Structure 1
Amino acid sequence: MSAPAAPEISSNAIYVGNLDQRVTDTMLQEIFATIGVVVQVKVVKRHGPYSGVNYGFVEYADRRTAEQAIQDMNGRKIFNHEIKVNWAQTGSAAKEDTSNHFHVFVGDLAPEITDEMLVKAFSAFGTMSDAHVMWDPVSGKSRGFGFAAYRDKTDAEQAIATMNGEWLGSRAIRCNWATQKGQTATPPPQPGQQLPYEIAVHQTPAYVTSVYVGNLTPETTQNDLLQPFQRFGFVQEIKLQADRGFAFVKMDTHENAANALVQLQNVNIQGRPAKLSWGKDRPPTGWQSHGGGFQHQHQQQQNWQHGNGHNGQMYGRGAAGNAGASAVPWGQSGQQPLYDQYNAGGNM
């Protein structure tokens, strides 16, 4: 049976992947309407080898609301399925959900390599479903690495074996398995470790938005941290203990925090290279615990959570005086989020 045709996609539409088969159009609309006005939704039933999960589209009345939905809903769980939320492809068929595919990391890319060149190089290996270069959102330049995805594991293995060390453009590239659920374990975060965004963003759960900043001088001020971090999004809070040489910076989204962590690693603050790693935030109600313990800097942050912290300052959304905003994660505000209501019983 052929898959149903993708619906017409507008510029305000987002793609929602890895949907449990029990999710209906009505349910999807109710969940995403918590962000803003939803114009229409469509759940697409999948067939074939990946028929265990579906995907869908949600169209909002304006693009700003759609952007907020991507930030807030990506990684949330509906019926214990962690959904994938991103922009829908405009004017083309629905983007295939590659979350269950086999992902290859492509490093040492030359600056001139584009998405099209990467697709051409890696499409020779059968069942390639996606290939893209990772671009810096600030400079617009390549970050020097990318990813290719394959439906068949043997094709991914062949791509790694064949392309590793081959020249692409002006450089010899290196290929290996990307860090992906069900493949290799994500390395534990270490302060000062330089990692690509695609790895850093998966090191902690999606609700974590705090970044640990170490190797600070006693003269470090709140403004020394605010200025570099606010380039990557809203800074909700800074907890600084300059006399002990560290701070925690809480961003508005997990993705913005990951971007700041990657881009600001070893940035000069008061004459010293800052050593960045993930902080630890309290999980929302109903969130399953994330494996692995990150002890040293996380224990320092927990001291604040138990009333021993000081010198904390709020910025941007969630700051004192920002009416209607809250720094409390979803699920701790006293009202259970709609997607958690669907998780709670498992039955509708």
Structure 2
Amino acid sequence: MLLQSLVHLASKLFIGGLNWDTTDAEGLRNYFSQFGKVDACTIMRDPAGTSRGFAFLTFEDPNAVHAVTAREHFLDGKSIDPKRAIPREEHLRNTRYFVGGLAPATTSESMKEFFTTYGKVVDATVMLDRESGRSKGFGFVTFEDAANADQLVGKNLVLDEKQVCVYVMLLLRSGLTVSLD
């Protein structure tokens, strides 16, 4: 049973950066089926039923996840960002940080590159405005572990020539998140 759970976790993808018009889970499933048999595909939606711009997809074979993450993907006219899904339990280790005060030119890639000096970055995402596609001025970075938290929180960090503020994100059992400085 434990082995089956581990295989399931290793077979699950988070797919970020979806076009807001990508609302058909079957189309997403069809695209990713070129990498292996897809067991499940869910586009996440808000209470009104509108796409939240990301999805979760589970393959039958964990090797398909490696095949997907080894290359770039474009779907519905937009570059998408598939990566191994991080179980909620991993977020409870306080490895996710809110990064505020980002420069307009800061991208997810430049933020990830900046934070790699503080540890292995699992994910870095600059939040974008749905209408304009411009940065909202904040984002999130997730590390493999919390070993360097003291080097991040409350420090004078400068990213893309702008001072940024970093807060630890805590995922509560209710699903709500809070930031602590």
TM-score in terms of structure 1 length: 0.30
2:121 pairs with 1:133? no
CA contact (8 A) 2:156 2:163 kept: yes
SS of equivalent residue, structure 1 residue 145: strand
Letter in 2 for 1:95: K
- Cα distance in 1, alignment partners of residues 24 and 160 from structure 2: 40
Q: Report the CA distance shift for 1:22/1:92 in structure 2 as closer, same or farther (over 3 A).
A: closer
Counterpart position of 1:165: 156
Counterpart position of 2:43: 70
Counterpart position of 1:86: 56
- Cα distance in 2, alignment partners of residues 174 and 21 from structure 1: 40
Letter in 1 for 2:69: S
- Cα distance in 2, alignment partners of residues 114 and 178 from structure 1: 20
CA contact (8 A) 1:122 1:159 kept: no
Letter in 1 for 2:86: T
SS of equivalent residue, structure 1 residue 164: coil
* Identity of matched residues, %: 24
Q: CA deviation at 1:122?
A: 0.2
CA contact (8 A) 1:131 1:149 kept: yes
- Cα distance in 1, alignment partners of residues 10 and 56 from structure 2: 15
Letter in 2 for 1:92: T
For structure 1, the residue ranges without an aligned partner over 5 or more in a row are 1-19, 24-43, 47-52, 58-62, 73-83, 188-198, 200-348
Root-mean-square deviation over aligned CA pairs: 3.8
Alignment partner for residue 100 of structure 2, among 103, 107, 112?
A: 107
CA contact (8 A) 2:104 2:137 kept: yes
Counterpart position of 2:77: none
Q: Report the CA distance shift for 1:186/1:114 in structure 2 as closer, same or farther (over 3 A).
A: closer
Counterpart position of 1:142: 135
Which has the higher Rg, Structure 1 or Structure 2?
1
SS of equivalent residue, structure 1 residue 86: strand
- Cα distance in 2, alignment partners of residues 126 and 70 from structure 1: 31
- Cα distance in 2, alignment partners of residues 185 and 115 from structure 1: 23
Counterpart position of 2:86: 98
TM-score in terms of structure 2 length: 0.53
Q: Report the CA distance shift for 1:87/1:132 in structure 2 as closer, same or farther (over 3 A).
A: farther
Name segments (4+ residues, structure 1) moved above 4 Å.
Answer: 20-23, 87-91
Q: Which has the higher contact order (CA 8 A, sep 6+)?
A: 2
CA contact (8 A) 2:98 2:166 kept: yes
SS of equivalent residue, structure 1 residue 95: strand
Counterpart position of 2:11: 55
SS of equivalent residue, structure 1 residue 119: helix
- Cα distance in 1, alignment partners of residues 120 and 172 from structure 2: 20
Counterpart position of 2:36: none
- Cα distance in 2, alignment partners of residues 123 and 110 from structure 1: 18
Cα deviations by residue, 1:143-180 (Å, 9 ceiling, x for unpaired)? 1101111121213x14424x732222242100010242
Matched pairs, number: 125
For structure 2, the residue ranges without an aligned partner over 5 or more in a row are 14-21, 29-40, 46-53, 59-64, 71-81
